[in-house]
Amino acid sequence: MFSLLRRNRKQQCRLAVLVFHRVIDGTPLPFGPEKTCSLPSDNFARILEHLSHTFHVFNAADLRSALEGHQPRFPEGVLLTFDDGFADNAELAAPLLIKNGIEALLFAATGYIDGTAEPYEYVLARHLATHGDGPVVVDGIEYARARDAYDAVRSALKKMPRAERDETWRRLRQEFPAMESPHLLTWSQLRDFQEKGPFAVESHGVHHAVLAGEERGELAVQLRDSRQRISEQTGRLPTLISYPYGAANSSVHRAARRAGYRAGFTTEPVVNNLATCNPFALGRFAGESERLLEARSLDDIASLLAPSAQKGVRCQPS
Ligand SMILES: [Zn+2]
């Protein structure tokens, strides 16, 4: 009995995973992902300092080891992740991570890296913000406020299967050809991360599609091709995926397992117990909040960042 209890205690591993997207200098836009999913670099610096002084910070090796059932270095801790693959991750986030001795996971949408896909939410919001928040016409429809147009167009695009969405976006994009895409990471930068840190590069699919909305063949392509591409370009085969928009269901979990992944991340804001949870449904909290500075425990993170305590601030794009 004693040894059983001891073994159970050993297997406990509670992990609060935080998801970030962009670290920026300057003022974010008044709406869209640059508002909800960006963190000014000085805030990010304060958050890192607080986390590294208050919690055990897991790295990729700690996570992989714990998922394989090995005794973790720490019984509980936090893990930092970045989604998508924006250039500011290298320019602004990486130096701060290095300064604090933190290794994070970077989930790259491979289509963003090689230019075959565009982070359309950012382009759309930037274009609409040039109208202030006044009336605007998109695709022949008039909206009273630019932010209403953003919400309506984004929501419609997000619901479409990937091929239809790409086609629709190509058409809409012609309305604002001069608007630049935000800068994204390059394969050369991802290779450097893989070799020297401070990021371990993992998968976020290819085209940033809602995987749960895709047919089986397209789902397999998104899971397999992103993994293969990262392997070819960086020399390491990813074993982890974060689902675009945090959205997955049991079919996606099974397909991810078949494609060779060992675990998958959602944006369900829960603390994971790695000993008992489904490794393909790991929760994450949106990290782009100064509330993190008040957290002294994993339960604090849950109560400070869970949706009920953070109404309307949950990060949308993931
Ligand atoms: Zn994403």
Distance 258 CA to ligand 1 centre (A): 22
Distance 224 CA to ligand 1 centre (A): 17
Distance 247 CA to ligand 1 centre (A): 10
CA distance 203 to 109: 6
Distance 204 CA to ligand 1 centre (A): 7
Task: Give pLDDT tens digits along the chain (318 positions).
Answer: 455 554 444 468 999 999 999 999 988 788 888 888 999 999 999 999 999 999 999 999 999 999 998 988 999 999 999 999 999 999 999 999 999 999 999 999 999 999 999 999 999 999 999 888 889 999 999 999 999 999 999 999 999 999 999 999 999 999 999 899 999 999 999 999 999 999 999 999 999 999 998 999 999 999 999 999 999 999 999 999 999 999 999 999 999 999 999 999 999 999 999 989 999 999 999 999 999 999 999 999 999 998 564 444 444 555
The number of helices, as runs of H, and strands, as runs of E, in the chain is: 14, 12
Distance 318 CA to ligand 1 centre (A): 4
- pTM (two decimals): 0.92
Distance 5 CA to ligand 1 centre (A): 40
Distance 302 CA to ligand 1 centre (A): 21
pLDDT of residue 34: 84
Distance 4 CA to ligand 1 centre (A): 41
pLDDT of residue 168: 96
Distance 132 CA to ligand 1 centre (A): 26
Ion ligand 1 nearby residues (CB, 5 A): 83-84, 244, 318
* Contacts with 176 (C-beta within 8 Å, 6 or more apart), sequence order: 123, 127
What is the DSSP-derived secondary structure letter of residue 303? H
For the chain, the first-to-last Cα distance in angstroms comes to 44
Distance 112 CA to ligand 1 centre (A): 10
Please, what CATH class does the domain formed by 9-116+183-309 belong to? Answer: alpha beta
Angle at the Cα of 186 from the Cα atoms of 44 and 200, rounded to 5 degrees: 55
What is the DSSP-derived secondary structure letter of residue 275? T
Distance 242 CA to ligand 1 centre (A): 8
Q: What is the DSSP string of 148-200?
A: HHHHHHHHHHHHS-HHHHHHHHHHHHTT-TTPPPPPB--HHHHHHHHHH-SEE
Domains in the chain: boundaries: 9-116+183-309, 120-180
Distance 19 CA to ligand 1 centre (A): 10
pLDDT of residue 308: 65
Distance 236 CA to ligand 1 centre (A): 21
CB 137 within 8 A of CB 45: no
Distance 205 CA to ligand 1 centre (A): 9
Distance 218 CA to ligand 1 centre (A): 18
